[in-house]
């Protein structure tokens, strides 16, 4: 057909005077138009990434840092995944931080409280005490006589006796491994009288230089010094208040055997124990031996050891060597040790549950991350990344979260210790514990957090490594 036979093309008017909607639309843009719109007018076909008033909205990924080229491939991808899922990363990091802070804070708090309790209890007593054996009544039958059918054996009364050859026993105890100091002590009941006041006390005859190595009496002196000479005596603050005496006054001390002596008060002490403050009266060893009718003898030997919780071993060794009654502080304070052991068990249970919760949190978040990153994982597999590399990516995520959470958790734990030491005080107004961190505990908690992060990421990492590249890209 000749060109002259073709119908002429429709003419499009570009006159701006045409005010119809169609005309104005055609004049504004040559793009295809939609015949209908939400407002009944012709609307342009705009792409999904169009941002009204700002032009096309394009997805922009931040450029890599210059030092990113020096990073291993697995670490680079792990950091990229963590940065893209900021909310998930922040939540899991908060969980790890809280878990590490709880572990360090509770462990440090309980350990320091236990040390404080033991120090206060042991501040007024020896670690190991050697005493004479108790007198026991035994039934003795004459030779050839039949054993009695029934007999009543009365327990024998115990009297104040001296340790047999106490100088030799003291030398043997001082040479025993683990023993730090030995102090001879003579103690027994007595009465302290001042005017019309009369109080039952325990008379303590000691050698000041030796006894202060066993009990830190210098730290408990409120007035005067822990020094004894002649007829000088040291009493507690509670006893001084009950008798109405002070430094320089005199007391009449009478033992149970009837011996008495007038002593002069040369010092006052406060052992943080009202019962001991009301009962203990310190005199020289010679005066105590005279009043208690033990000339040249001692009622017990007090020992202090280098390892506090090794006192039982030292006591057992001395008991076998001497045949005397040897008791350690762990035997005389069994109730305290039981309470401390229960406290330790509770702390271990709390830490175990915290570790389990943190591990479940890390694992659950990384499982969701694997599902969200299926296409990226498939692309990486298609580009040649092996299963080990994909697995290493998610393991690194768990390890990095554990490492960062351990650092932040340690700082949070120290802050909690500072706050609690400031708010909670002892009855006397002193701090219950010192706000300090044990670096060994911090290191162990950090290793635990990193290990938990790696173990929690193991299952998601294996799932990601087993993905088929084609199916992952199609998902």
**51 part of a folded domain:** no
pLDDT digits (tens, 9 = 90+) for 168-192: 999 999 999 989 999 999 999 999 9
Is residue 262 located within the same domain as residue 385?
no
Assess whether 108 and 226 both reside in one domain. Answer: no
Residue identified by tokens 């006589």 is 145
- Residue 225 C-alpha from the chain's centroid: 37
Dihedral angle over CA of 311, 312, 316, 319, nearest 10: 60
- For the chain, what is the mean pLDDT? 77
Contact 211, 187 (CB under 8 A): no
Assigned domain for 143 exists: no
Rounded to two decimals, the pTM is 0.65
Q: Are residues 373 and 259 in the same domain?
A: no
Least confident of 50-54, 122-126, 442-446: 50-54
Q: For residue 112, give its domain range.
A: 73-118+337-474
pLDDT band at 273 (very low <50, low <70, confident <90, very high): confident
The answer to whether position 100 is within a domain reads yes
Compute the Cα dihedral for 90, 93, 95, 98 and give only its sign: negative
pLDDT at 136: 62
Tell me what the mean pLDDT of segment 7-35 comes to: 42
Residue pLDDT, tens place only, 127-136: 999 988 876 6
Total domains present in the chain: 2
Task: Evaluate if residue 157 carries a pLDDT over 80.
Answer: no
Q: For residue 132, report the phi and psi dihedrals to the nearest 5 degrees.
A: -70, 155
- Confidence at residue 10, expressed as pLDDT on a 0 to 100 scale: 46
Strands 260-269 and 232-236: parallel
**Cα dihedral 152→157→163→164 (10° resolution):** -50
Mean pLDDT of all residues in 29-43: 43
Residue 243 CA to residue 191 CA, distance in Å, equals 12
What is the end-to-end Cα distance of the chain in Å, rounded? 54
Q: Decide if 58 is inside a domain.
A: no
pLDDT in tens, 87-122: 877 888 888 888 888 888 888 888 888 888 887 777
Q: In whole angstroms, how far apart are CA 375 and each of 31, 249, 342, 462, 473?
A: 34, 92, 52, 16, 5
Q: What percent of the chain has pLDDT over 90?
A: 16
Highest mean pLDDT pick, 140-154, 252-266, 359-373: 252-266
385 and 433 housed in the same domain: yes
Measured CA distances, 212 to 123, 310, 417, 446 (Å):
11, 21, 33, 42
Distance CA 218, CA 213 (A): 10
Question: What does 30-65 look like in DSSP terms, one character per residue?
Answer: -S-EES--TTSS-EE---TTEETTTEE----PPPPP
Residue 239: pLDDT band by 50, 70, 90 thresholds? Answer: very high
Q: Quick check: is 128 in a domain?
A: no
- Final residue belonging to a domain, choices 323, 353, 388: 323
Is residue 161 one of the residues assigned to a domain?
no
Of 323, 350, 375, which residue constitutes the final position of a domain? 323
pLDDT number for residue 197: 85
DSSP letters of 150-190? ----PPPPP---PPTTHHHHHHHHHTSTTEEEEEEEEEEEE
Question: What Rg do the C-alpha atoms of the chain give, in angstroms?
Answer: 42
Binned at pLDDT 50, 70 and 90, residue 20 comes out as: very low
């Amino acid at each position: 057909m000749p060109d002259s036979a073709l119908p002429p093309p429709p003419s499009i008017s570009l006159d701006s005077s045409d005010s119809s909607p169609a005309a104005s639309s055609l004049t504004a843009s040559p793009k295809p138009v939609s015949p209908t719109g939400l407002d009944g007018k012709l609307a342009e076909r705009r792409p999904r990434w169009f941002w009204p008033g700002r032009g096309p909205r394009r997805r922009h990924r931040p450029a890599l840092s210059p030092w990113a080229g020096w990073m291993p491939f697995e670490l680079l991808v792990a950091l990229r995944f963590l940065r893209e899922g900021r909310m998930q990363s922040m939540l899991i990091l908060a969980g790890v931080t809280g878990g590490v802070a709880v572990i360090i804070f509770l462990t440090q708090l309980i350990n320091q409280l236990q040390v404080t309790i033991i120090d206060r209890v042991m501040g007024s007593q020896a670690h190991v005490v050697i005493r004479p054996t108790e007198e026991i009544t035994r039934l003795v039958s004459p030779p050839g006589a039949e054993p009695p059918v029934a007999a009543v054996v009365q327990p024998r009364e115990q009297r104040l006796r001296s340790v047999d050859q106490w100088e030799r026993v003291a030398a043997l105890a001082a040479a025993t491994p683990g023993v730090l100091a030995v102090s001879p002590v003579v103690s027994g009941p007595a009465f302290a009288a001042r005017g019309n006041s009369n109080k039952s006390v325990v008379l303590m005859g000691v050698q000041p230089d030796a006894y202060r190595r066993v009990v830190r009496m210098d730290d408990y002196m409120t007035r005067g010094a822990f020094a004894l000479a002649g007829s000088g005596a040291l009493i507690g603050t509670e006893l001084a208040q009950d008798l109405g005496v002070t430094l320089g006054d005199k007391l009449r001390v009478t033992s149970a055997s009837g011996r008495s002596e007038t002593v002069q008060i040369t010092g006052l002490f406060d052992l943080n124990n009202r019962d001991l403050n009301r009962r203990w009266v310190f005199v020289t060893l010679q005066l105590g031996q005279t009043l208690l009718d033990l000339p040249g003898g001692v009622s017990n030997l007090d020992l202090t050891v280098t390892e506090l919780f090794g006192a039982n071993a030292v006591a057992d060794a001395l008991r076998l060597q001497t045949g005397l009654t040897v008791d350690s502080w762990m035997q005389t304070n069994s109730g305290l040790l039981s309470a401390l052991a229960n406290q330790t068990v509770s702390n271990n249970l709390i830490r175990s549950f915290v570790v389990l919760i943190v591990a479940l949190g890390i694992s659950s978040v990384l499982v969701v991350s694997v599902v969200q990153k299926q296409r990226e994982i498939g692309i990486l597999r298609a580009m040649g990344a092996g299963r080990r590399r994909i697995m290493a990516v998610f393991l690194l995520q768990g390890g990095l979260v554990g490492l960062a959470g351990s650092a932040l958790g340690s700082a949070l734990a120290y802050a909690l210790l500072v706050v609690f030491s400031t708010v909670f005080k002892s009855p006397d107004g002193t701090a219950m514990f010192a706000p300090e961190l044990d670096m060994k505990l911090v290191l162990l908690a950090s290793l635990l957090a990193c290990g938990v992060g790696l173990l929690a990421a193991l299952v998601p990492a294996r799932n990601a490594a087993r993905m088929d590249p084609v199916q992952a890209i199609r998902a």
